[in-house]
């Protein structure tokens, strides 16, 4: 998946600034989701903390990123699929949160349909599996 920050910004009516481009580049670099603290560590010299928060919020609202909370309540961000929009996030895939390295993966597994009890109307469903990821599993088995 090729990422073109400038195009993405234009498509979502966001001004093209170097901070915004940097954030998108950084998040697009890795296939796994990246946490706010990690982003801050990487971009802290170039971008102010507050600006980073504001950019991430803007991206989430516009449907550019989706936000995944890990078990500690830390925000993690990943690039949305192209079909996401302001109105609806289509990140209806399962997330995998490694309890060892803490990385969050977007799996290519759809969330099964869930039937809601009478009276409850779900607009989004979120599924996160916790366990040991591919990489950590290899490392632990002493390979």
Residues 105-134 that bind its own copies (CB under 8 A): 105, 107-109, 111-112, 114-134
The distance of closest approach from Cβ of residue 56 to DNA in the complex, given in angstroms and rounded to an integer, is 8
Question: What 3-state DSSP class applies to 116?
Answer: coil
Question: Which residues in 33-73 belong to E strands, given as ranges?
Answer: 34-35, 65-69
Whether 50 and 15 have beta carbons less than 8 Å apart is answered as no
The distance of closest approach from Cβ of residue 128 to its own copies in the complex, given in angstroms and rounded to an integer, is 5
Cα torsion 70, 73, 74, 80: sign: positive
Minimum CB distance to DNA smaller for 49 or for 134: 49
Among residues 1, 2, 73, 142, the one that binds DNA under rule CB under 7 A: 73
Task: Name the residue among 83, 97, 86, 99 with its Cα closest to residue 140.
Answer: 99
Question: Is beta strand 93-98 parallel, antiparallel or unpaired with respect to 104-110?
Answer: antiparallel
Residues 8-67 that bind DNA (CB under 7 A): 14-20, 36-37, 40, 46-51, 53-55, 57-58
Whether 78 and 33 have beta carbons less than 8 Å apart is answered as yes
Residue ranges binding DNA (CB under 7 A): 14-20, 36-37, 40, 46-51, 53-55, 57-58, 73-75
The site for its own copies (CB under 8 A) is made up of 69-71, 73-75, 94, 96, 99, 105, 107-109, 111-112, 114-134, 137-138
């Amino acid at each position: 998946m090729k990422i073109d920050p400038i195009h993405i910004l234009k498509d979502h009516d966001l001004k093209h600034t170097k901070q915004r481009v940097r954030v998108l580049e950084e998040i697009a670099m890795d296939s796994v989701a990246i946490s706010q603290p990690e982003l801050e560590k990487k971009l802290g010299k170039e971008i102010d903390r507050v600006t980073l928060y504001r950019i991430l919020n803007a991206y989430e609202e516009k449907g550019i990123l989706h936000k995944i909370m890990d078990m500690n309540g830390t925000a993690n961000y990943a690039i949305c699929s192209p079909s996401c929009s302001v109105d609806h996030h289509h990140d209806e895939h399962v997330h995998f949160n490694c309890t060892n390295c803490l990385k969050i993966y977007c799996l290519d597994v759809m969330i099964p349909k869930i039937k809601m009890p009478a009276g409850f109307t779900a607009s989004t469903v979120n599924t996160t599996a916790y366990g040991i990821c591919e990489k950590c599993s290899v490392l632990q088995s002493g390979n």
